[in-house]
Amino acid sequence: MLYDGAIRFLRQSAEAMRGGDREIARNKMRRAEAIIDELNTSLDMSYGEVPARLRSIYLFCKRHLIHANVTTDPDAIEAVVRLLAELRSAWNQIARPVELASS
């Protein structure tokens, strides 16, 4: 659900940016950034490589969004949307076998 929310806010941000509404674009981006921050801070780094790689991805997303905001580049926002969508899909695939086994 967090990925879905971040993706939704980022799409809204990119749309507002394309429409020239920087205030709405920034507001929606902040909301997505808050979700990415929550995903990042909730990682349990004692589990090794997976949380470390996720942290790297989340930090990359944040840097990319800062760049998008500074340069007013909605395509950079869409790049983060694609990355988060891939992560969401991967988590869905991981969860699917568990759902099938518990049915």
**What letter represents residue 46's amino acid?**
S
Global pTM reads 0.88
Q: Identify the domain containing residue 94 by its residue range.
A: 2-102
19: enclosing H helix or E strand: none
* Inter-residue contact 75 to 18 (CB < 8 Å): no
pLDDT in tens, 64-78: 999 999 999 999 999
Tokens for 17?
Answer: 């940016």
Our CA angle for 98, 102, 103, nearest 5°, is: 120
Sorted by sequence, the CB contacts under 8 Å of residue 67 that are 6+ apart come out as: 73, 76
Q: Note the maximum CA span of the chain.
A: 49
Total domain count for the chain?
1
pLDDT in tens, 4-32: 999 999 999 999 999 999 999 999 999 99
Domain of 73, CATH number, reads 1.20.120.340
